[in-house]
């Protein structure tokens, strides 16, 4: 009987994922559950046949060049792979997979939470009640922006973007979107397509980002594009922090050009942007878009499905 492949889990994934992994693999689990450094990734590549990293493990070209030939597959516990240098991994002969589909609902839920919280002064209201400083009420008190019936612009109409559109339609929102290609009618579901991003920005009372972070989309929402949004618009980002020029966002909020923002991701993670803490019109969460028990189990199982196929000599379903 042949030995099991060795699988390195650099972060503590769900208990169900760990239990299933141990059935088919010799698992090396990072009990400390802290991000692995470049040197640790390189060292572990000599001990493991496979790794299931999260977004916190950086497989840059420099790291990939140092990887031991033993490592054969990087089965990401994520949809986004901007932490992986895909050309370098391909040249090294290392397979790369991700976990699409399974986290769309959970991420769209967080996007809706951020949109509602940003629109209705959730940060200021919670602080007021929590600190006992709620001493006043009037019809003009904490008046926010209504979501129902408003126009929402969605940048990136992939899996998460389409779920977000469905949730927005449940609130009676008028859905507009910009995508690399127009969706077929059955997926578009009545949404209005904009081939040009600037055209979408001009009509978006709410703008929700759902596109990947690439060299082309870095600082997608810069000062120029933020200025193209209607006055009083609200920006939502549950995709990647690199999509937003954070200094430009602060300027737009300080000037009153934007009413608020809802953010689940930041350029620096963990930690975020300390300057955001002074702004009660920024509703923030610590990158927890997919953080539900059901979704974390599904992500881990999807990654294991890819690993099982790979070590069975088959093509993984999510091979990149």
Q: Which residues are designated catalytic?
A: 240, 269, 287
| 35 DSSP assignment | P
φ, ψ of residue 49 in degrees (nearest 5): -85, -25
As a whole number of Å, the CA-based R_g of the chain is 21
Give the helix/strand (H/E) hosting 107. Answer: helix 104-119
Count the neighbouring beta carbons within 10 Å of the beta carbon of residue 283.
27
**Inter-CA distances, 242 with 53, 54, 158, 238, 245, Å:** 20, 17, 18, 11, 7
Q: What span, in angstroms and rounded, lies between the C-alpha atoms of 141 and 129? A: 14
* 8-state DSSP, 183: P
Q: What is the dihedral of CA 272, 274, 275, 278, to 10 degrees?
A: 110
d(C-alpha 160, C-alpha 111), whole Å: 10
- The angle formed by the CA atoms of residues 60, 157 and 178, to the nearest 5 degrees, is 100
């Amino acid at each position: 009987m042949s030995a099991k492949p060795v699988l390195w889990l650099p972060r503590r994934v769900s208990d169900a994922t760990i239990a299933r992994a141990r059935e088919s693999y010799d698992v090396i689990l990072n009990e400390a559950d802290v991000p692995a450094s470049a040197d640790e990734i390189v060292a572990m590549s000599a001990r493991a046949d496979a790794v299931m990293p999260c977004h916190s493990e950086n497989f840059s070209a420099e790291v990939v060049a140092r990887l031991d030939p033993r490592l054969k597959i990087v089965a990401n516990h994520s949809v986004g792979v901007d932490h992986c240098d895909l050309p370098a991994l391909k040249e090294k002969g290392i397979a790369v997979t991700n976990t699409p589909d399974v986290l769309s609902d959970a991420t769209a839920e967080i996007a809706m939470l951020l949109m509602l919280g940003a629109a209705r002064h959730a940060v200021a209201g919670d602080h007021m009640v929590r600190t006992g400083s709620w001493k006043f009420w009037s019809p003009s008190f904490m008046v926010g922006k209504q979501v129902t019936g408003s126009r929402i612009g969605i940048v990136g109409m992939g899996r998460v973007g389409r779920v977000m559109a469905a949730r927005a339609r449940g609130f009676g929102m008028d859905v507009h979107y910009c995508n690399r290609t127009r969706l077929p009618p059955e997926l578009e579901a009545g949404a209005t397509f904009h081939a040009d991003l600037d055209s979408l920005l001009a009509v978006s009372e709410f703008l929700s980002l759902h596109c990947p972070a690439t060299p082309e989309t870095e600082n997608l929402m810069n000062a120029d594009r933020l200025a193209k949004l209607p006055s009083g618009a609200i920006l939502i980002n549950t995709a990647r922090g690199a999509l937003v020029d954070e200094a430009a966002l602060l300027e737009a909020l300080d000037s009153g050009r934007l009413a608020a923002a809802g953010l689940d991701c930041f350029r620096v993670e963990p930690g975020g942007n300390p300057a955001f803490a002074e702004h009660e019109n920024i509703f923030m969460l610590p990158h927890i878009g997919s953080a539900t028990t059901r979704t974390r189990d599904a992500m881990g199982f999807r990654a294991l499905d890819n690993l099982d196929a790979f070590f069975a000599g088959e093509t993984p379903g999510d091979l990149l």
